[in-house]
Amino acid sequence: MLTKSTLYVVATPIGNLNDISLRALDVLGKVDVIAAEHVQTSKHLLKSHAINTRLMTLHQHNETAVAEKILTLLAAEKIVALITDAGTPGISDPGAILVNRVREQGYQVIPVPGANAAVCAISAAGITNPHFLFYGFLPTKSGLRKRELEALKLQSCVLIFYEAPHRVLACVSDMIAVFGEQRQLTIARELTKLFETIHSCSLVDALVWLKADTNQQKGEFVLLLSGAELTEKPEMSEQAQHTLKCLLSELPLKQAVKLATEITNKNKNQLYKLALSLKEEKRSL
Ligand code: SAM
């Protein structure tokens, strides 16, 4: 039994049409209308599961207007499902504007979980770091992309990006420019599809690998980049740590380290390393 006046947010496959839950099929078969990013793409999925529910279009350019139409349907006790072309709505996909409006108006939003390319990639990448940061798409222009990557330089979590095939080479080159050649990259391509490939190596080898076979530059990509090695916290007396912390809370890092060196008479490099790790700790809180 579905609940009246409710929006169901339903995950659909990221390639293999069988990667859809029994609950998702049940919901999609029973709702009054399905809002889909591209009607034709979704018709193919629905047809393969013998679902004939009415479809309407909701994409990033009409989401605000269509959200109001969906509110009218919910006011008339209809039940609506939201799906996107692939995976989980709202993850690098439309959905957030609609969900916000529906919740604002006091209607229920029920998620129906399922496939997601980032989670699918990490599950098969064999990465032991338990922490990851999902970034999604980087800017398309190299300058902006490098700036975003710079901001992630101290991040110790695995960094997960989505990338388009025509930008994958440029993106990996920018990663090398920012992070150096040796960080590990896992390229997860065409997941759940015929040419599924999961390849892990250093950033510099990844560039060589991609260039060596243009077929490896085709399709859909998830890029998983290893995080920054956290520098071991150097041994330091409690008094010196306290002094540095106080200074860091008031001053830029370099200035805090300089003053801490003068006050504590400790090694400047060690204080600098400690300052970096304190900053990183604070950032990840
Ligand atoms: N909502 C989706 C999700 O839950 O993963 C993501 C949609 S986003 C518009 C599409 C991007 O996700 C692609 O450009 C690619 O980076 C990634 N992606 C989607 N399907 C994929 C697949 N089968 N293999 C690898 N990456 C995929």
From the CB of residue 115, how many other CB atoms can be counted at a distance below 10 Å? 21
Question: Is the confidence at residue 284, as pLDDT, over 70?
Answer: no
Question: Is the confidence at residue 285, as pLDDT, over 70?
Answer: no
The more confidently predicted of residues 1 and 86 is 86
Whether residue 221 has its Cβ less than 6 Å from ligand 1: yes
Q: Which residues of 53-88 are buried (b: 16+ CB within 10 A; e: fewer)?
A: bebeebeeeebeebbeebbebbeeeebbbbbbbbbb
Question: Is the confidence at residue 266, as pLDDT, over 50?
Answer: yes
- The whole-chain average pLDDT of the chain stands at 95
Question: Is the confidence at residue 235, as pLDDT, over 70?
Answer: no
User: What's the pLDDT tens digit per position in 94-122?
Assistant: 999 999 999 999 999 999 999 999 999 99
Whether residue 162 has its Cβ less than 6 Å from ligand 1: yes
User: What's the pLDDT tens digit per position in 15-60?
Assistant: 999 999 999 999 999 999 999 999 999 999 999 999 999 999 999 9
CA of residue 14 to ligand 1 center, whole Å: 7
Whether residue 59 has its Cβ less than 6 Å from ligand 1: no
Whether residue 187 has its Cβ less than 6 Å from ligand 1: no
User: What's the pLDDT tens digit per position in 193-232?
Assistant: 999 999 999 999 999 999 999 999 999 999 999 999 866 4
Return the pLDDT at 278.
83
Whether residue 116 has its Cβ less than 6 Å from ligand 1: yes
Residues sharing a CB contact under 8 Å with residue 284, sequence separation 6 or more, in sequence order = 155, 156, 157
* pTM: predicted TM-score of the whole model, two decimal places: 0.83
Least confident of 56-65, 155-164, 238-247: 238-247
> Ligand 1 pocket test: which of 10, 14, 198 has the largest number of ligand atoms within 8 Å of its C-beta?
14
Are 42 and 36 contacting, i.e. CB atoms less than 8 angstroms apart? yes
